[in-house]
Amino acid sequence: MANSSSGHELPTRRDYVKHGGAIITGGLLAGCLTGAKSESTPTTTSSDTVTDSNSTQTTAVDTSYEACLEPVGCLRFEEVPETYIVNNGEWADMAFALGQREGFLTSANMIPGFLFEPFGLDVPPVSETKSLSATNWDKEIFYSQDPDVILIDPNYMHKTGWDKAWDKSDTAEIRENVAPFFGNNILRRRDWHNYRLYSLYEAFERLADLFQERDRYEALAEIHESVQAEVQSRLPPSDDRPEIALVNSASDPGEGTFYPMRTQAEGVEMKPYRDLDIGSAFSAEHIEAGTIDYELLLEVDPEIIVFHWGIGTTGDTNSFSPEAFHKQYVAPLESDSAGSQLTAVQEGNVYPGAFGSQGPLVNLLQTELVAQQLYPEEFGEFDPEKFPEVSTDKQLFDRQRVRNIINGNI
């Protein structure tokens, strides 16, 4: 464990966070976190004093505001943070959507940049960012990047076991000496996450409070609602909706090892499957077992196999490579004596799954992706050679409208 007295001094420009960004407790905290809409609360105070011939008038305006999120509570800021770091890409995606691309400093697990191209965003590849956690948390990165706010669930830092030498005191040191944490582990429910797990748009709304970008949030939420309504109106009857074998992309068909997953699990990573009402071909016993082999997979014999996170970067370029995906996942299935008997393999229904880490921008794109893969007769066939480009007639939302919102043309 790194010593909390590491010799780093509190930057004076952080005074507004150190003194103005303290957690507000008691009744106010309960009011911010009880499930009512969490809206930022600007505070304005004024005092006027008027005398006869020597009249004087004094007006003091407090422009501070609050942003609230479990587990950090309600934080008060004197000014809007300009720079930030994230651990998972969904928080970067949300910030980009709110017009905060320039404030992005670094990420540990970033969404591939090509998924932001339809929105006109230039996002550096992972190779060009300073990772927070190559093999453990790098405390010096936090100090050297010097963000105004850290968009990470603080409990993620010391409760995942990623860095066994890092404990709660290290997280506290970063909070006190660098910047406040403002994040919730919305990707998925973890064993230690015994507090509220926000939906994507619940978290997005609270980040909008932090960045004071309510208009952008509401405009994008309206597009999301429109896409959801469109999708729901076009889904086939429940009995005709598919059940898929969703397996983690860490699965190795060459070795006959597969990691089954729940399509309806909590967290943003399964949002497209939940929204499109996609069931799982696996039983609870299969999923709880952790791994299955070809024998069990053949017993299930799914009509569709999807490799979760599979649409992420494959091959040597910062883009999706259908050839690399086929080589890594499909070819071993086809060449295996048991794998070649699977219905999904024989019918060509083995797909790269959505990238699990997703904010409002990438989720819009991946809702289209999953709809085209699993309901091609209704939404048009997924074209892996062109993705993320989608022909206009297959698009569920107006790309230019989203670009305009990001750029402030609301």
Which domain CATH number covers 362? 3.40.50.1980
Residues 274 and 343 in one domain: yes
Domain final residue, candidates 179, 212, 245? 212
Domain assignment present for residue 241? The answer is yes
Contact 366, 93 (CB under 8 A): no
Domain final residue, candidates 182, 212, 242? 212
Structure tokens at 149: 């706010």
- Amino acid at site 316: D
Structure tokens at 351: 């797909």
Peptide bond before residue 376 is cis, with ω within 30 degrees of 0: no
Domain assignment present for residue 278? The answer is yes
Structure tokens at 287: 């999923």
Residues 354 and 304 in one domain: yes
Q: What is the pLDDT of residue 10?
A: 39
Query: From CA 8, how far away is CA 399, in angstroms rounded?
Result: 45
Domain assignment present for residue 2? The answer is no
Residues 172 and 287 in one domain: no
Residues 184 and 246 in one domain: no
Residues 88 and 189 in one domain: yes
Please, which contacts does 168-175 make with residues 24 or more away whose CB atoms are closer than 8 Å?
Answer: 169/1, 169/4, 170/1, 170/2, 170/4, 170/137, 170/139, 172/4, 173/2, 173/4, 173/6, 173/139, 174/139, 174/142, 174/150, 175/150
Structural domain harbouring 202: 12-46+59-212
Query: From CA 197, how far away is CA 368, in angstroms rounded?
Result: 25
Domain assignment present for residue 6? The answer is no
Residues of the chain with pLDDT under 70: 1-59, 126-128, 134, 313, 315-317
Residues 89 and 186 in one domain: yes
Query: From CA 153, how far away is CA 186, in angstroms rounded?
Result: 9
Domain assignment present for residue 334? The answer is yes
Residues 189 and 256 in one domain: no
Residues 193 and 272 in one domain: no
Domain assignment present for residue 4? The answer is no
Domain assignment present for residue 7? The answer is no
- If one counts every other C-beta atom within 10 angstroms of the C-beta of residue 319, the result is 17
Q: What is the pLDDT of residue 22?
A: 47
Residues 123 and 269 in one domain: no
Q: State how many domains the chain has.
A: 2
Q: What is the pLDDT of residue 54?
A: 55
Residues 6+ apart with CB under 8 A from 30: none
CA 230 to chain centre: 23
How big is the CA angle at 61 (ends 57 and 65), to the nearest 5 degrees?
170
Q: What is the pLDDT of residue 46?
A: 42
Domain assignment present for residue 225? The answer is no
